[in-house]
Structure 1
Amino acid sequence: MLVSDRILEFYQSLTPPSKLPKKVETLNPYQSDAGWEATAQFYQKYYADNNSRRMLFGINPGRFGGGITGVPFTDPLLLEEVCEIKNTFNKRAELSSRFIYEMIENYGGPKAFYSKFYITGMSPLGFVMDGKNLNYYDLKDWKKIFEKDMINWIKEQLTFNIDTSIAYSIGQGQNLKFLKQLNDKYDFFEEIIPVPHPRWVMQYRLKRKQEFIDEYLLKLS
């Protein structure tokens, strides 16, 4: 079975945590025809092999990026213009996606990058509350809600021929802290390395963007 087949099988099986509050809406693009078609085209294009890859863990998909396209940190605009996967989604740019794809371009382009790396989220499903993106750790009792599912999600994704010597946390705050806690307990990876969150860079450190792209490239090398 190719890596692409395993990834698509995983995404198709996803369900939100059973203890998720009713006021929270789940973003699951893999249940829509357009989202599934985009996801399938992407992974069949870049992951139809048995390459070993390192994982990068974001927080969870957002409503203008992976929460629509099914591809982490990839908005509909970049999916079409850079990955050359046509789609009917609203072509709205998303800040984090812009940073990630500038970094990918500096790395050598999508084909080179995705042959070596697999991006996911601590939660591969996104969440919205009151019409706004919601980070999993912003919910009260979030560990009780998410921990069991996240452990299972990580274990399942490790079957994608993942290189477990190093994993990366996209974000240096709560996401990093929780990934390290789980890793200390379950020894998923030998080392966890943090990289700055793209949204933080684009909102607060835009003039230093290239510096942070270079940091990614150095740590990923």
Structure 2
Amino acid sequence: MSLSKKILDFLFHLKMPFDLPEGVGVLDSHKDEEVREACSAFYKKFYNDNKPRHIMMGINPGRFGGGITGIPFTDPIRLERDCGIANDFQKKQELSSVFIYDMIEAFGGTNAFYGKVYITAISPLGFVKKGKNLNYYDDKLLKQLIEPFVVDCINKQLSWGLNTDVCFCIGEGENLTYLNQLNQKYQWFKNIKAVPHPRFIMQYKLKQKQDYIKRYVETLLRSE
């Protein structure tokens, strides 16, 4: 079975195995048929093989990037323009996706990047509260409840033969702290390297964007 089929089977059968805290909703775009078609086209294009990749681990999907397309850090504009996958999603850009695809271009383009890297998240399902994105670690009860789901998802993805010498954590704060704690417990990865979150860069460090792109690329290439 190709890696693309394993990824799609995983994404299309995600279920939150616990009751969410009051006021918290789950963001599962993969239930939508249009999203499934976009995901199928994307993963069959870039992952239709069994080559091992390194993992980049984000937080959880938001409403405007992966929450629309079902593909991490990929908004509808980047999906069509950079990945060559036409879609009927509303063509709104998402800041993190803008940075990631500028970085991918600097890396050598989508084929080069996705041939070496698989992007996922601590929680492949996203969360919303009061109509806004919610990171899993921003709700104390959610953070306590989510560990079995997170561990199961990471174990399933690693069973595909992904590289475990190093994991790249997207985010240098809470996401890194949580991933390090889990990794100490479950010993998945020999090393975890963190890079700043794209949204932080685009909101607060935009003038240094090219420096951060260079940092990302150099960090990824040093893993080879």
TM normalised by structure 1 equals: 0.98
State the shift of 1:27 in Å: 1.4
- In structure 1, the residue matched to 2:16 is 16
Q: Is the 8 A contact 1:3 1:161 kept in 2?
A: no
Write the letter of the residue equivalent to 1:59.
I
Q: Is the 8 A contact 2:136 2:142 kept in 1?
A: yes
Write the letter of the residue equivalent to 1:117.
V
State the shift of 1:141 in Å: 1.9
State the shift of 1:26 in Å: 1.4
Provide the alpha-carbon RMSD of the alignment.
0.9
> In 1, distance between residues paired with 2:100 and 2:17?
28
State the shift of 1:143 in Å: 2.9
- In structure 2, the residue matched to 1:210 is 210
Confirm whether residue 32 of structure 1 aligns to residue 18 of structure 2: no
> In 2, distance between residues paired with 1:180 and 1:27?
25
Report the 3-state secondary structure (helix = DSSP H, G, I; strand = E; otherwise coil) of the residue aligned with 1:165: coil
| 1:53-64 matched pairs, under 5 angstroms | 53-64=53-64
State the shift of 1:23 in Å: 1.9
> In 2, distance between residues paired with 1:69 and 1:147?
25
State the shift of 1:22 in Å: 4.2
- In structure 1, the residue matched to 2:159 is 159
Write the letter of the residue equivalent to 1:100.
I
- In structure 2, the residue matched to 1:197 is 197
TM normalised by structure 2 equals: 0.96
Distance change >3 Å, CA 141–CA 22, structure 1 → 2: closer
- In structure 1, the residue matched to 2:113 is 113
Q: Is the 8 A contact 1:59 1:136 kept in 2?
A: yes
- In structure 2, the residue matched to 1:92 is 92
Q: Is the 8 A contact 1:17 1:145 kept in 2?
A: no
Write the letter of the residue equivalent to 1:96.
S
Q: Is the 8 A contact 1:103 1:217 kept in 2?
A: yes
> In 1, distance between residues paired with 2:142 and 2:133?
15
State the shift of 1:128 in Å: 1.2
Q: Is the 8 A contact 1:59 1:175 kept in 2?
A: yes
Write the letter of the residue equivalent to 1:143.
K
Deviations 1:123-163 (A, max 9, x none): 11111111111111111223322101000000001022201
Confirm whether residue 186 of structure 1 aligns to residue 192 of structure 2: no
Fraction of identical pairs, as percent: 51
State the shift of 1:28 in Å: 0.9
- In structure 1, the residue matched to 2:71 is 71
Report the 3-state secondary structure (helix = DSSP H, G, I; strand = E; otherwise coil) of the residue aligned with 1:200: helix
| 1:127-166 matched pairs, under 5 angstroms | 127-166=127-166
State the shift of 1:116 in Å: 0.2
> In 1, distance between residues paired with 2:36 and 2:145?
26
Q: Is the 8 A contact 2:55 2:117 kept in 1?
A: yes
> In 1, distance between residues paired with 2:183 and 2:166?
11
> In 1, distance between residues paired with 2:143 and 2:64?
25
- Unpaired runs of at least 5, structure 1: none
